[in-house]
Amino acid sequence: MSDERIIRGVMASSGIAIGRAIRIFDPSNISYNFQVEVDDTAREVARFRESVEKCRKQLERMQGELRGSSIPESSYFVDAHLLILKDKLFVDRIVDKIQAEAINAEWAIQQVSGELYEAYDRLHDDYLRERRIDLEDIVRRMLHNLRSKSSSTVPALSYDAVLVGRSIPPSTLFELRSARVAGLVTETGSPLSHTSIVARSLGLPAVVGIHDLSGISSGDPMIVNGSRGFVICDPDPSTLKEYRQKTRQQRSTLRRSSGTAPCTTQDGVRISLGANINFCEEAQSAAANRMEFIGLYRTEFDFFREDGKPSEDDLTAQYSRVLQALRPAPVTFRTVDVGPDWKSGDGTGSSLASRGLRFSLENQDLFKLQLRALLRASRNGRMRILLPFVSTIDDLDAAIEIIAGVKRDLARHHHRYDRDVPVGVMIETPAAAQTCDLMAPRVDFFCLGTNDLIQYYLVIDRSDQSAAQLYTPFHPAILRCLHQVYTLLQYSGRPVTVCGEMAADAAAAAVLLGLGFTSLSVSLSAYPRMRETIAALNLGKLRELAGEIMKMDSPKNIEERVRSTIG
Ligand code: PEP
Ligand code: MG
């Protein structure tokens, strides 16, 4: 009998991944469950014993402090925790599990503690319920200690893995990129969340917004169909064969479609098509595929790659390598944009009030450090500096003043840099859309960030899949906003590139072209497809279409009208 089952979700990153599940638990205390090689069990046992030892020292320190406090009895709970650490039923069973089942320490801890929780729950005893809470606390501490001990967390795996979790923070995905992660599936998130964007830039097929993933355990074989938005659990051999064939086709299509000729519409109008990247390593593949330019390099992922403050020299070297790899193509470095979904992946990270340029203005030491690194690297190619999430002219003026100060300082210390590095602004807040003409004389170019623009215009969280039908670029308010931005900047002499995900959807890109925008930037994975899409579009017809849809009132009808016109 077949165990194969299909679970539907939402497409977040296209492509097909075949692998075995690795479950990710509580996003604030990520741990991974996986099988280890038999030879590695001794290392896992040692990791586990170290974490027990670390817990013991932490608890003894805590005990000492509490005993000296005004309420010495408060140290009693620590005694209970220390007893658990000495409990053979707990500690030795975890060691046995690691050895007998060849699994990592985290998985063994979860299994043994899970069995004990169940036993406590069955006994309906208040005293034992308290013991359960103590146990939960110790487990949390152990998992945390294991994690901080080896922050890269997953060692080189001997099989392709599919990450499965309620949510997976973008930084975690990044940490795992050198492990054999083939794809990911999550319960929360949407195609516009940063986790999905990172998945696309790492070329990892992803499905998000899956209702319930609790039936999937670590080790289960699965297929992720990121192009159709579903996963297949425990696939039959015939399904596996079919999908292996599809992955081979996928690789050859990618090889075929990277282009060198300029991108033009069917009626011969030149469209600039650039690529968005999120990691410095992507510069190599962008260069190999001869991308015209990098319309957006989201630098925050590389900036916060290591915990703590990055080094100016390391960043300078990294930015120089990116510029050299892509020379003579221009590269748009967006300064750090820390957003609400940056830390946790579920929207509970930093505050909206401190996002993007505001974060940089509040943390000027970091901002100056990045600007110094950027400017020092600038002579290695064609750099553009882009300021994210700008909403007031005052903030923009402050940023421009800081850039000028950093330049003066570099000159004083005899550092050479490109004095004419263009500085631009992301139009991604309603305030920037309304005032971009006032910003134009102060800057050299603009990028239109439709991901945030739509979310703040329509008041729909871009990561909230449950409201995805309300988040639409075809809303008349968005069309009017785009038309207004185009009109305000039309004669400003400041080029505008659309770099939000809207540019990577055929129908939405058709609207952008029809409204007059001639420069788009999309993820590396969408680039070949969008070249083909643009080549099949007739700009004359799109202009007429834009005139028509500007008079329509229903997002659904507008979208249908556009899709039926472009075919
Ligand atoms: C945008 O908001 O459209 C954008 C490109 O920036 P990000 O997706 O990084 O917020
Ligand atoms: Mg944005």
Show the tokens assigned to 66: 């509490």
Length of the chain: 567
Quote the ligand 1 centre to 174 CA distance (angstroms).
Answer: 18
Atom number in ligand 1 closest to CA 452: 2
Residue of the CA atom closest to atom 1 of ligand 1: 449
Atom number in ligand 1 closest to CA 428: 2
Encoded amino acid at 413, one letter: H
Q: Give the closest ligand to the alpha carbon of residue 342.
A: 1
Quote the ligand 1 centre to 214 CA distance (angstroms).
Answer: 31
Q: What is the pLDDT of residue 157?
A: 74
Give, in order, the Cα–Cα distances in Å from 483 to each of 138, 428, 433, 506, 508. 57, 14, 10, 18, 14
Q: What is the pLDDT of residue 258?
A: 53
Q: Give the closest ligand to the alpha carbon of residue 336.
A: 1
The C-alpha atoms of residue 267 and residue 542 are separated, in whole angstroms, by 11
Q: What is the pLDDT of residue 75?
A: 66
Atom number in ligand 1 closest to CA 298: 9
Quote the ligand 1 centre to 442 CA distance (angstroms).
Answer: 22
Residue of the CA atom closest to atom 6 of ligand 1: 449
Nearest to 294 by CA among 461, 497, 457, 454: 497
Quote the ligand 1 centre to 390 CA distance (angstroms).
Answer: 12
Residue of the CA atom closest to atom 3 of ligand 1: 449
Local confidence pLDDT in tens for the 567 residues of the chain: 788 999 999 888 888 999 999 887 644 455 677 888 888 899 999 999 999 998 898 888 877 776 765 455 656 777 888 999 998 889 999 999 999 999 999 999 999 999 988 888 887 766 666 677 778 778 878 887 887 654 434 556 778 999 998 878 665 676 676 678 899 999 988 887 777 877 887 788 999 989 888 889 888 999 999 888 899 999 999 999 999 988 877 666 555 555 567 899 999 999 999 999 988 888 988 898 889 999 999 999 888 876 567 899 999 999 999 999 999 999 999 999 985 555 444 444 457 888 899 999 999 999 999 999 999 999 999 999 999 999 999 999 999 999 999 999 999 999 999 999 999 999 999 999 999 999 999 999 999 999 999 999 999 988 777 788 899 999 999 999 999 999 999 999 999 999 999 999 999 999 999 999 999 999 888 898 899 999 999 999 999 999 999 999 999 999 999 999 998
Helix (H) and strand (E) counts in the chain: 21, 16
Quote the ligand 2 centre to 428 CA distance (angstroms).
Answer: 6
Residue of the CA atom closest to atom 4 of ligand 1: 449
- Residues near ligand 1 with C-beta < 6 Å? 197, 296, 298, 337, 428, 449-452, 499-500
The C-alpha atoms of residue 402 and residue 143 are separated, in whole angstroms, by 43
Edge-to-edge strand order for the sheet containing 10-13?
A: 5-8, 230-233, 221-225, 16-24, 161-165, 181-186, 206-208, 10-13
The C-alpha atoms of residue 151 and residue 30 are separated, in whole angstroms, by 10
E-assigned strands of 47-180? 161-165
Longest dimension (CA), the chain: 82
* Substitution candidate for ligand 1 out of 277, 425, 451 with most atoms within 8 A of CB: 451
Distance of CA 324 to the CA centre of its chain: 25
Nearest to 163 by CA among 146, 145, 175: 175
Q: Strands 181-186 and 382-387: what pairing?
A: unpaired
Quote the ligand 1 centre to 410 CA distance (angstroms).
Answer: 30
Show the tokens assigned to 125: 């005893």
Atom number in ligand 1 closest to CA 500: 3
Active site residues: 194, 499
Q: What is the pLDDT of residue 170?
A: 66
The C-alpha atoms of residue 225 and residue 230 are separated, in whole angstroms, by 5
Give, in order, the Cα–Cα distances in Å from 260 to each of 290, 466, 550. 6, 40, 35
Q: Where are the alpha helices (DSSP H) in 258-299?
A: 282-288
* Substitution candidate for ligand 1 out of 300, 337, 428 with most atoms within 8 A of CB: 428
Domains in the chain: ranges and CATH: 5-26+154-244 (3.50.30.10), 27-147 (1.10.274.10), 268-566 (3.20.20.60)
Q: What is the pLDDT of residue 254?
A: 56
